[in-house]
Amino acid sequence: MNRKLKVAVFNTQPPHLYFGGVERRIVETAKLLVNAVDMTVYSGTKKGFNKTTTIDGTTVVPCSSTDRLYPLDNWVFNRTISRMINTIKADVYEAHAVSGYEFLNVLKKRKINKPFIQTVHGVLADEYIQSSKSVSPYLKLKLSNFFMRHLGRIERDAARKATLIITVSRYSAQKIVEFYGIDEKKMEEIERKKNALEK
């Protein structure tokens, strides 16, 4: 009997407690692959998530973060998983947005050559450009733009180091090329794959 492929997925928000596009993709992919893949999702301790749970055959493990505002929760989560490098063992790693960049950095530093998939939903550098066009007197928006710019750089670096980039649309793929300088051959578009399968 063949051993199932072990996949570790990183996402700051617990996918069973949040219902955004990122979380839906994690949950639906896990359901589709449950018979072929041994998937473990490592997520932040948000909304009181503090106990390992199994949902439809997929294990979800809480990793210390914070329920405070983004990106502080993301930074704490990344620090936590990077310190778990010796216990998070997988054949393939996948991170959503900037939820796994520190783990990827440690893999590279230790010369652990396991496939790492960077899933880009909205291109953060593009979101920063769009957001910075609005002139706002509010400190909260200015602070948000500052962090968005910084996170865009982190996402760019992670995309460059990753083995493969998954993106949700042609638009996102074009922006990844434009802002991050990534070769399209390194990317897979979910939208294009879905359209091809439906034909």
pLDDT at res. 195: 53
Enclosing domain of residue 188: 5-123+158-198
**Helices 170-180 and 139-161, axial angle in degrees (round to 10):** 90
| pLDDT exceeds cutoff 80 at 119 | yes
145 falls within a domain:
no
User: If you average pLDDT over residues 132-136, what whole number do you get?
Assistant: 68
| pLDDT exceeds cutoff 90 at 135 | no
Phi, psi of 14 (to 5 degrees): -60, 125
CATH number at residue 25: 3.40.50.2000
Count how many domains the chain has. 1
pLDDT at res. 90: 97
163 falls within a domain:
yes
**pLDDT tens, residue by residue, 156-198:** 999 999 999 999 899 999 999 999 999 999 999 986 655 544 5
pLDDT at res. 139: 64
170 falls within a domain:
yes
132 falls within a domain:
no
**pLDDT tens, residue by residue, 39-72:** 999 999 999 999 999 999 999 999 999 887 778 8
**Percent over 90 (pLDDT), the chain:** 73
Phi, psi of 136 (to 5 degrees): -130, 135
**pLDDT tens, residue by residue, 6-21:** 999 999 999 999 989 9
pLDDT at res. 197: 45
74 falls within a domain:
yes
DSSP notation for 82-141: HTTTTT---SEEEEETTSSHHHHHHHHHTT----EEEEESS-HHHHHHHHHTS----HHH
Pairing of strands 164-167, 187-189: parallel
80 falls within a domain:
yes
142 falls within a domain:
no
**Percent over 70 (pLDDT), the chain:** 89
